[in-house]
Chains A and B, each alone.
Chain A
Amino acid sequence: MTHVHELNGASAPLPVRAPSGPAASPELLRVDDLKVHFPLKKGIVIQRQVGTIKAVDGISFALRRGDTLGLVGESGCGKSTTGLAILRMLEPTAGRIVFEGRDITHTGRDGMRPIRRRMQMVYQDPYGSLNPRMKVRDIIGEPLAVHGTAKDKRTYAERVEQLIAMVGLLPDMAERYPHEFSGGQRQRIGIARALALEPSLVICDEPVSALDVSIQAQVVNLFMALKEQLSLTYVFIAHDLAVVRHISDRIAVMYLGRIVEIAGRDELYKRPLHPYTQALLAAVPVADPEVEASRPRIIVKGEVPSALKPPSGCRFHPRCPRAMEACKTVDPALTDLGLGRAVACHLHAKPA
């Protein structure tokens, strides 16, 4: 059903596995060559398709139980679309999503219901995602009611109480409405709601970006504590590289619908291989004037091009300081370099 001419060799399914040692836990989520394309239509009465926005265009990764995968990239890179597609809130155009050992790519509405209990989402905007007319008790308890998991009123009340305590809110806050809370507290409410059904996977989409600097740390710490306590697995989507590095075990860097590099957080930071990763890391200022004075500066040219007309070859080549002839025509495949690390760049192509 791909209606788009594929001229790249990059989309060969290649799930990049985390390094598997004796202690490696089983895979919780696997995404194979996932594509999410949106048709661009013109006309009001008679619509015709005039183009395709390839928001996510062939990405693959695997996530072990208990790990946190950070998805970073600039606007339009497809990181949020990836999150929504995993939850099946957006229809994948192609590819495969395997969750808890089951292929859920084409699972229907009814089939998805029990699966949705196991995968939840925390949104960026705690203002927009909480119903202003509902008390906190009902917001947090709603998933329990919808899925019928609390067998009576008492279990329901106890569970809500437990959730409220778990995210660091006070018991008497249950009777209040969202507008009575600060941004950080509202995000805690959103987290409590996401955890109500005991999910194994939580997809967090920019969960701290809207918060004040002094509040961000509180919420980041909460995410980390809950992960330990409940053995959660996170996909943590954010544009703030410092926050992502702090919370993630592995990080996938996205650019225009593709993963350009994926690696353990420290390897990625210490030895970024893809020129885009290097530029992205260099662009983030470090809160220390002395470090800043001596850091190398890599300023990439221009801005992210439209996903409607991605550049030929490597999508980053028009901005890449190290672009070569081949980069203009040949789309580099994401190549597994071993040890859970992969990069899509001709500079790092494995010798055949």
Chain B
Amino acid sequence: MATPLLQVRNLTTRFNTERGRLTAVDDVSFDIDAGETVALVGESGSGKSVTALSIMRLIPSPPGRIEKGEVIFEGRDLFELDDAGIRDIRGNKIAMIFQEPMSSLNPALTVGMQVAEPVNLHRGLPWAKALEVAKELMGRVRIPDAASRLASYPHQYSGGMRQRVMIAMALACQPRLIIADEPTTALDVTVQAQILDLLKELTRETGSSLLLITHDLGVVARYADRVAVMYGGRIVETAPARTLYKHPHHPYTAGLMASVPRLDGEAGVRLVPIEGQPPDLALLPPGCAFSPRCRAATEVCHSSRPPLVAVGERHLKACFNDARA
């Protein structure tokens, strides 16, 4: 098998807070192949966004610190690079799209300038030429009337159009990997479908990989090739998307799927919720983070931490119970 485009190995990121040192990402490992869409799924506080920021070395320090691990991208460990080295990767080889485009865009610069900036910076094109490229990119993300909208400011764009601008910026340098952190959570559902379809189509055209971070199991089912489910800072299960939905092994994965009402499911029946609350990172149990809420938990689950072990083709789970959930 070809070497993966990105290999995350034993990534551990901690934060110093008033409540003590929190391990937001705890020994996380996963791969992304070239051209593949991998989804990181989890609820708030599961560590999915911190994983993404750690890969890009964008963890604010203090209070945060990447304590351990490697992120090997195209054969190089990103954690070993100097500042100039990582700047050359960020926005160039690896681009990032955030949930709230308004806070990622500069309100005082025209949209054209902002899309042209990475082209000028990373590809070394003169400004006039970079603006030409920006116009093309805005056309590619189907911003209508791109030529005349270059001179507009972000506030003159709608939420969906701003996210298109973010995608245009992300595409500016033909990245090998795009990390999209809840890119459509703030958008209406018909616009969400437009944006994610566009993103998927563009990654297919360019052959770049996509790391999609989301809490929405429907979005994962529609767009991801492989999935990693996070809980309490750890990956609890990872598998190809179809396998995961058909045969979820981890009780948390199975619980999530049973608790979400489906548009094509039977309406009106009682949902099967996961009892209890999502974990508090300051008060994680010594064993499996899910053990306090798990119906199948045994003594060992409360005391020791289950390792990720293979249960099938590219299918791993971190659970002591052999029985399928």
A→B interface (CB under 8 Å) = 74-75, 182, 184-185, 212-218, 220-221, 224, 239, 241-243, 245-248, 265-266, 269, 279-292, 297, 299-300, 303-304
B255 at the interface (CB under 8 A from A): yes
| Min C-beta distance of A251 to chain B, whole Å | 10
Given contacts A285-B222, A303-B188, A304-B188, contact A220 B278 (CB under 8 A): no
Q: Which of the candidate stretches B49-57, B129-137, B257-265 sits at the interface with the other chain?
A: B257-265
Q: How far is the CA of A75 from the CA of B189 in the complex (A)?
A: 10
Known: A214-B255, A220-B271. 14 other contacts (CB 8 A): A212-B215, A214-B278, A221-B273, A242-B218, A242-B260, A246-B261, A246-B271, A266-B267, A269-B263, A285-B218, A287-B262, A290-B245, A297-B197, A304-B188
Q: Find out whether the CB atom of A286 lies under 8 angstroms from the CB atom of B277.
A: no
Partner pick for A283 among B192, B223, B256, CB 8 A cutoff: B192
> Whole-angstrom distance between the alpha carbons of A291 and B217 in the complex?
13
Complex Cα distance A153/B259, Å? 40
**Counting CB contacts under 8 A, is B268 at the interface?**
yes
Contact B189 A287 (CB under 8 A): no
Query: Which residues on the B side are within 8 Å of A289 (C-beta)?
Result: 221-222, 224, 241-242, 245
A239 with B188, Cβ < 8 A, contacts A215-B277, A289-B245 known: yes
* Residues of chain B having any CB pair with chain A under 8 Å: 43-44, 158-161, 188-194, 197, 215-224, 241-242, 245-246, 255-257, 259-265, 267-268, 270-275, 277-278
Given A215-B278, A299-B193, A245 and B188 contact (CB-CB distance below 8 Å)? no
Knowing A217-B272, A299-B197, A303-B158 touch, does A291 contact B264 (C-beta < 8 A)?
yes
Complex contacts, A182 vs chain B, CB 8 Å: 277-278
A286 touches B221 (CB 8 A): yes
Q: Check A214–B273 contact: CB distance below 8 A.
A: yes
Task: Please give the distance in Å from A24's CB to the nearest CB on chain B.
Answer: 18
CB within 8 Å: A-B pair count = 142
Assembly CA distance A241 to B265 (angstroms): 12
- Some 8 contacts from A to B, beta carbons below 8 A apart, are A215-B278, A224-B270, A242-B260, A269-B263, A283-B189, A285-B193, A292-B222, A303-B190
Residues of B within 8 A of A74 (CB): 188-191
Determine if A287 and B259 form an interchain contact, defined as CB atoms under 8 angstroms apart: no
Which of B191, B221, B274 touches A292 (beta carbons < 8 Å)?
B221
A224 CA to B269 CA in the complex, in Å?
9
Residues on A with beta carbons closer than 8 Å to the beta carbon of B160: 303
The distance from the CB of B315 to the nearest CB of chain A, in whole angstroms, is: 14
Q: What is the minimal beta-carbon distance from B216 to any residue of chain A, in angstroms?
A: 7
Shortest CB-to-CB span from A351 to chain B, Å, is 31
- CB of B263 within 8 A of CB of A218, answer no
Least distance between B265 CB and chain A CB atoms (Å) = 8
**CB of B204 to closest CB in A, whole Å:** 15
Indicate if the CB atoms of B190 and A283 lie closer than 8 Å.
Answer: yes
Residues of A within 8 A of B264 (CB): 269, 286, 288, 291
Please list the 6 inter-chain residue pairs (A to B) with the smallest Cβ-Cβ separation, ordered nearest first: A285-B218, A217-B273, A217-B259, A74-B188, A246-B261, A287-B217
User: Complex: how many Å from CA A214 to CA B194?
Assistant: 27
A238–B192 alpha-carbon span in the complex (Å): 16
Across the interface, name the chain B residue whose C-beta is closest to A72.
Answer: B189
Chain B's closest residue to A276 (CB) is B190
- Considering the complex, give the chain B residue whose CB is closest to the CB of A300: B190
Closest CB of chain B to A106's CB: distance in Å? Answer: 34
- A290 neighbours in B (Cβ, 8 Å): 242, 245-246
The answer to whether B263 and A242 have CB atoms under 8 Å apart is yes
B216, B222, B223, B242, most chain A CB atoms within 10 A: B222
Closest to B144 in A: A302
| A252: min CB distance to chain B, Å | 16
Are A285 and B219 also in contact (CB < 8 A) when A241-B263, A246-B271, A299-B197 are?
yes
Contacts of B242 in A (CB 8 A): 289-290
